Amino acid sequence: MRVLVSDNLSPVGVKVLEEAGLVVDVNTGLEPAELKKIIGAYDGLVIRSATKVTADLLEAADKLKVIGRAGIGLDNVDIPAASERGIVVMNAPDGNAVTTAEHAISMMLALSRNIPQATASMKAGKWEKKKFMGREVTGKTLGIIGIGRIGSIAASRAQGLRMKTIAYDPHMPVEMAEKIGIELVSLEDLAKRSDYITVHVPKTKETANLISHEFFANMKNDAMFIDCARGGVCDEKALFHALTDQVIGGAALDVFATEPTSHENCPLLNLDNFICTPHLGASTSEAQEGVALIIAEQVSDYLLRGSVTNAVNVPSVSSEVLAQVGPFITLGEMLGSMHMQISKGGIKEINVEFSGELADMNTSPVTVAFLRGLFTPILKDAVNYVNAPVIARDRGIRVVESKTDQAGDFTNALSVKVTTSEGENTLVGTVFGKKEPRLVRLNSFRLEAQPTGPMLLVFNKDVPGVIGALGTVLGESGVNISRMTVGREEESNQNIILLSTDQLISKELLTTVQSLKHISAAQGLDLNGF
């Protein structure tokens, strides 16, 4: 079997592939047309961030069985297109955690002691000792936005420097944060209390431009901001004004909304109180050797033995089990994603119930799929079918499974109740025919909806005119409705309306919808990829 390495990969990884008995071609820097011309000859493809694995490229990949990303991010891979062609997509989600956290701490120290500016000054022939007065970090407060794997490591390093650590993470239970010595606070309180702030969240619909003008306005005048996570989480225009207007003391970025970036599209580069690096968070020899070794072992194990590890689009199950519960694996992941998007507060417990004929099957892959779907909206590519249960355990989430041969109105049913610090929600789903997932209950509302694509969830009073007004507002905004399902709660005279739309609902449009008469709440859902 042949494997193509199309991006720069540590020789350690190439050696592992070759020693496994695979034929390895290292061919980097290919133009898309060149890559498409040769991809048909390969069974495996190993990439980093440069290669763009598009649907067009995959059409020419007749033999391709696996794509391995030496790292975490998979923005450059069309995962649905790969799934349609039966191509397994793998990554190495934990390989860069330590080095990225250490880079954030390094940026904090460099900011504190003006190291880049002083270096540039000396190289220019100057000796400006008084100009670059620094500050100590001991005793200061580090605010961490997102305390997943990387954020937790950053916290431990800061605690080693005798810093106080606080964090904003709406999905982390308070008890788990306290175990690692972190105080959970609101985003506003974090901005007001921190001397340094570091970001460790992926870019999602919820985190895009999370760090805004308002956020910087709440920071201390001498506080410093660091982002080594993902470009686009910080509004760079807002950061520019915060620095030029001396709203905050300084900032350091390793990631940018547009990469590569330059003086033309990033005026931050012209500021003296701003330091930066060209996305070096994962760029250490140890990290690159680590992810190369991990992905090489995973790719060779799959091609030679059929063993699936850290796959983001297929669970590690036999073909027999997949044939039995495959559609419910998809349903479980859909319900997980939906649960996370409608839940508020840190998740404490998950109760998964399998009913009907499903109770007699091997349902553990369905639970894993639910957990992957649950964490994907907040962790994106850092969660897969292998580490999802570990993430649940590390966050102190109790997962309870039960089975019953009574499925009510359906041959099979999957019911999941998620309990958080602020309440609970229950979703029930089933599969129509052989592979058509359906949502049939949301809390006390019964309905029949296909949970896929962009959606709009509306809670309203059951009176005439609501659906018409809603359709008018969406139509005037150019949003097409492809499907609509209405569920009713008889006792309270309340409805829910679940709409499938051709695009994600903007924040501005959502505000307009929420202002309509007789509508009590509305929420956009993103179930793309299903």
Among 200, 230, 339, 441, the one annotated catalytic: 230
Which residues, 6+ apart, have CB-to-CB distance to 125 below 8 Å?
none
Alpha helix segments (H runs only) across 278-318: 285-305
Phi-psi region of 478 (alpha: psi -120 to 50; beta: other; left: phi over 0): left
Q: Which of 312, 298, 448, 446 is nearest to 368 (CA)?
A: 312
Strand-pairing partners, residue 304, are none
**Does residue 279 have an active-site annotation?**
yes
Contact criterion met (CB below 8 Å) for 224 and 250: yes
**Residues 483-518, buried b or exposed e (16+ Cβ, 10 A)?**
eebbbeeeeeebbbbbbbbeebbeeebeeebeebee
Extended strands (E) in 175-219: 183-184, 196-199
Among 188, 214, 259, 401, the one annotated catalytic: 259
**Does residue 113 have an active-site annotation?**
no
Contact criterion met (CB below 8 Å) for 233 and 209: yes
**Does residue 446 have an active-site annotation?**
no
Among 279, 339, 372, 438, the one annotated catalytic: 279
Q: Which of 464, 528, 455, 526 is nearest to 497 (CA)?
A: 455
| Token couple for 524 | 């956009």
Nearest-angstrom CA–CA distance, 249 and 40: 53
Amino acid identity for residue 244 in this structure = T
Nearest-angstrom CA–CA distance, 449 and 97: 39
Nearest-angstrom CA–CA distance, 101 and 153: 6
For 105, half-sphere exposure in the C-beta direction (CA atoms, 13 angstrom radius) is 23
Q: Which of 427, 421, 426, 424 is nearest to 395 (CA)?
A: 421
Positions marked catalytic: 230, 259, 279
